[in-house]
Amino acid sequence: MKCLIQRVACASVRVEHNVVGEIGSGLLVFIGVEPGDTDEQVARMAQRLLSYRLFGDAEGKMNLSVVDRGGSILLVSQFTLAADTGRGNRPSFSTAAPPALAEYCYEALIKALNASGTPIATGQFGADMQVSLINDGPVTFLLEG
């Protein structure tokens, strides 16, 4: 499982010109699911997303999590994160999870994050989405595992 996280001032997702998810200050999280990803990995990733310290404290050091800041999370499925880009000029998606597993893990991550009480918004699994954001920093990290 891979999650590309971006600290944002705001972000939104549109599907067919309709906003389906939107947040103010917080994290935009793109999730890529790989074959063999498990419930344990989902739980660990949820905990990492909630506790990863990438917001500045009073001294400007990245010591605060999205929970500490009272921010929100916008979670968007993105199977291209699981692509094999090691060779050639075209990505291979043989390293991405089958749609059923990917959707299961995506929904499980939404459920785990919702249980935290942190405000969560989402994209739409499998849809053609347009994502808008204002990256704050910019601050972007790739979490794997």
Instruction: Locate 58 and state its tokens.
Output: 């009073």
Q: Which residue has the tokens 């991550």?
A: 109
Is 80 designated active site?
yes
Given the residues 38, 47, 80, 130, select the one marked as catalytic: 80
CB atoms within 10 A of CB 77: 25
Which 8-state DSSP code applies to residue 84?
B
CA atoms within 13 A on the CB side of 126: 9
Amino acid at 51: S
Q: How far apart are CA 20 and CA 71, in angstroms?
A: 18
Is 79 designated active site?
yes
Given the residues 30, 41, 55, 79, select the one marked as catalytic: 79
CA neighbor of 29 nearest in space, from 66, 65, 75, 67: 75
Is 95 designated active site?
no
Distances (CA, A) of 87 to 23, 66, 90, 142: 36, 36, 8, 20
Residues belonging to the active site: 78-80
